[in-house]
Amino acid sequence: MKISEYASRDAVGLAELIARGEVTPAEVADAAARAVEAVNPWINAVVETWPAEDTPAPGSAPFAGVPFLVKDLGVSMAGKRSELGSRLAEGSVASEDSFLMRRFRRAGLVTIGRTTTPEMAYSTTTEPVFSGATRNPWALDRSAGGSSGGSGAAVAAGIVPIAHATDAAGSIRIPASCNGLFGLKPTRGRVSHGPGVDEIFNGLAVQGGVSRTVRDSAVLLDLIEGPEPGDPYYAARPERSYAAEAQLDPGTLRVAVLRQPWGGRRPTEPVSAALTDTVQLLESLGHEVEEVALELGVSWEEFILANARMWTANLAPWIDGIAAATGRPVDETTLEPVVLASYRHGHQVTADEFVRALAMRNVVSRTFARHFERYDLLLSPTLPEPPVPLGVYGDGADQLDGLGWLDRLFDRSPYTAAANVSGVPSMSVPLASDHGLPIGMQFTAGFGREDLLFRLAGQLERAAPWAHRRPPVWAGE
């Protein structure tokens, strides 16, 4: 199979070729391996590759034989390394499959390796000391986003059609925006984190993927959603498959537009212009669109402070557990300065401060729920600016404490974290660009309403298709 033919297909398309017997899973896996060799030296998105394992017989699973990559965090694969982008966890090997990994296998996906992540996924750019910076295939001097930056860059460059990603403050949507992809953050409780943990970062984090087409993400969520034994809670199962929803007309939707984020950073002119163009596109499709100032429920400063307390209080025992397992010290030799500072901050968070942070989560969740009594969806840019140059996040970061680092992250991505705190689904759609740099538009729905998002996403993909766009670094060339 030619790499150009392989890279031109999405996951559903590859699975159809295999099911019809036009190509074998081995031939597809070989093309994927050649794609890694062709572009990974340029973008540094894949930290390790593995030989393709036995695959289900063609047609026996929806994605039978489709090459896949998992993020080096958030999912465990028996016998494979899981190093979390950190020197502290270097060499760590998973003893069993997580529930999500079992579902990936049942879907027929052939996991060929793992993608880069910032250390402990504790950034929205992927520039770890452990594996080096991941570069954006649209512009090699730019960030691929984070924390699922490796997955985003790998899919955008044609290494795989779809890849695993996680999202605790935008880490699916931010790489999707930076790399010109579709990425949907599911509802809290939609996908299991078990059996190792019940929830990650007090329910802020979710599991999902990034893809070049809406249908790939829809089919993937169909295959991984739903509860597992021992889950503390779960979102109600959908009435129809998400793949079916993506084919349906959404009808007339009431869409609220948030142009100015809750923090102080304003969208750049190209992003603001892209938002205006998106509003016009929605109106041309018959939707009712209104630009509004939406309440967050708390001040931005309180939002940052409470998130910092939740994030760091979860980070500290996580790091302690890794250190105990590896026998390594927790210091400058094993952790980057901002992660070490955040670890120390977490050990200083009191029980009272932590409970107050959880109360903030409730206030934001209730406030967001009221928005969806009036509107079907919220629209904003995914990010206030196109992908930033590599190194921007790290400038002076060694002088920041745990609160200061989170403030920097949220200042760079002020639109995304509210959906994590409130637990609602949210997607980034690649509707625009600026001088070749992708710009994503974010749509957020009420709790459990991924169906609405997929309906609109399918409509937008048909009205303003994007899958034909190719970055300068592309495996199919």
Those residues whose C-beta lies under 8 Å from the C-beta of residue 147, and which sit 6 or more positions away, are: 71, 73, 117, 118, 121, 122, 123, 124, 126, 166, 168, 171
Residue type, 244: A
Q: What is the pLDDT of residue 264?
A: 79
Q: What is the pLDDT of residue 60?
A: 80
- Is there a domain that residue 468 lies in? no
Q: Helix and strand tally (H, E) in the chain?
A: 15, 13
Q: How far is CA 352 from the centre of its chain?
A: 31
Q: What is the pLDDT of residues 36-76, one digit of tens each?
A: 999 999 999 999 999 887 555 556 899 999 999 999 999 99
- Is there a domain that residue 62 lies in? yes
User: Residue 119: which of 88, 164, 76 has the closest Cα?
Assistant: 88
Domain count, the chain: 1
Q: What is the pLDDT of residue 52?
A: 81
Q: What is the pLDDT of residue 59?
A: 63
Output the DSSP codes for 375-402.
-SEEEEESSSSSPPBTTTTTTTGGG--H
Q: Which domain holds residue 401?
A: 3-463
Instruction: Reduce the secondary structure of 89-102 to three states and give it as a string.
Output: CCCCECCCCCHHHH
Task: For residues 184 and 465, give the distance between their C-alpha atoms in angstroms, rounded to a whole number.
Answer: 17
Q: What is the block-wise mean pLDDT of the chain (477 residues), using blocks of 10 residues?
A: 97 97 96 98 98 66 96 97 98 97 97 98 98 98 98 98 98 98 98 96 98 98 97 96 98 98 93 98 98 96 98 98 98 98 98 98 97 98 98 96 97 97 98 97 98 98 97 94
Tracing tokens 């079916």 back to the chain, one arrives at 244
Tracing tokens 């537009």 back to the chain, one arrives at 257
Task: For residues 217 and 313, give the distance between their C-alpha atoms in angstroms, rounded to a whole number.
Answer: 32
Task: For residues 341 and 104, give the distance between their C-alpha atoms in angstroms, rounded to a whole number.
Answer: 35
User: Residue 429: which of 418, 414, 439, 416 has the closest Cα?
Assistant: 439
Q: What is the pLDDT of residue 19?
A: 95
Q: What is the pLDDT of residue 269?
A: 98
Tracing tokens 């070729």 back to the chain, one arrives at 17
User: Residue 142: which of 159, 127, 157, 120 has the closest Cα?
Assistant: 127
The CATH number given to whatever domain includes residue 230 is: 3.90.1300.10
- Is there a domain that residue 471 lies in? no
Which DSSP symbol is given to 120? Answer: G
- Is there a domain that residue 470 lies in? no
Which DSSP symbol is given to 212? Answer: S
Which DSSP symbol is given to 236? Answer: P
Residue type, 431: L
Q: 214, 246 in Cβ contact below 8 A? A: yes
pTM of the model: 0.98
| Residue 247: Cβ-neighbour burial (10 angstroms; 0-12, 13-18, 19+) | middle
- Is there a domain that residue 385 lies in? yes
- Is there a domain that residue 475 lies in? no
- Is there a domain that residue 413 lies in? yes
- Is there a domain that residue 473 lies in? no
374's enclosing H/E stretch is helix 351-374
The two tokens of residue 374 are 């009036």
Helix (H/G/I), strand (E/B), else coil: 431: strand
- Which active-site residues does the annotation give? 71, 147, 171
